[in-house]
Amino acid sequence: MPPNVITQAVEMPDLSIEAASRFVAAAGLVIDEVSGTRVLGHLDLGAEHHTPWGIVHGGIYATAVETAASVGASAAVAERGQYAVGVHNSTDFLRASVECRASVVAEPIHQGRSQQLWVVTVTDQEQRQLARGQVRLRNIERDRISH
């Protein structure tokens, strides 16, 4: 950005599950705490998230990983008039689950001028990792996205 350009901070959207898109709401991630350096949330996993084989679908974990990283990365650059969009998501599914309250924790590994890298862990009540993901995000100006 040129040195004389003044940017306006981007306001964070309503992150409640009630305001989420049908896709994100169906995944069920509830955001409990947000900052530019950490996002905490949880998933109440159950039959509505199952594959035909009766275990939680990996897409739920990938969605939670992407969402948590995007929210945190966007919070980190909001004051610069930017938000962050995922450009790569690598989520490993580590342990099968049928039903539980899973904790989601997202933290940055790198936060640069143009991109960020976040790691996200999903654990069950016994602190066993169900999934772990890494998301690379690009910081972009709010007006760069066309609808």
Q: What is the pLDDT of residue 4?
A: 42
Q: Which residues contact 137 (CB under 8 A, 6 or more apart)?
A: 69, 70, 73, 84, 85, 86, 87, 115, 116, 117, 118
132 vs 10: which has the higher pLDDT? 132
Looking at every residue in the chain, the average pLDDT score rounds to 91
What's the whole-model pTM score?
0.88
Across 98-113, average pLDDT: 98
- Please give the angle made by the CA atoms of 10, 17 and 96, to the nearest 5 degrees: 115
Residue whose pair of structure tokens reads 């981007």 in the numeric block: 10
**pLDDT beyond 50 at 137:** yes
pLDDT digits (tens, 9 = 90+) for 61-98: 999 999 999 999 999 999 999 999 999 999 999 999 99
At 91 the pLDDT is: 98
Is it the case that residue 145 has pLDDT exceeding 80?
A: no
The secondary structure of the chain, three-state, reads CCCCCCCCCCCCCCCCCCCCCHHHHHHCCEEEEEECCEEEEEEEECHHHECCCCCECHHHHHHHHHHHHHHHHHHHHHHHCEEEEEEEEEEEECCCCCCEEEEEEEEEEEECCCEEEEEEEEECCCCCEEEEEEEEEEEEEHHHCCC
Question: Residue type at 32?
Answer: D
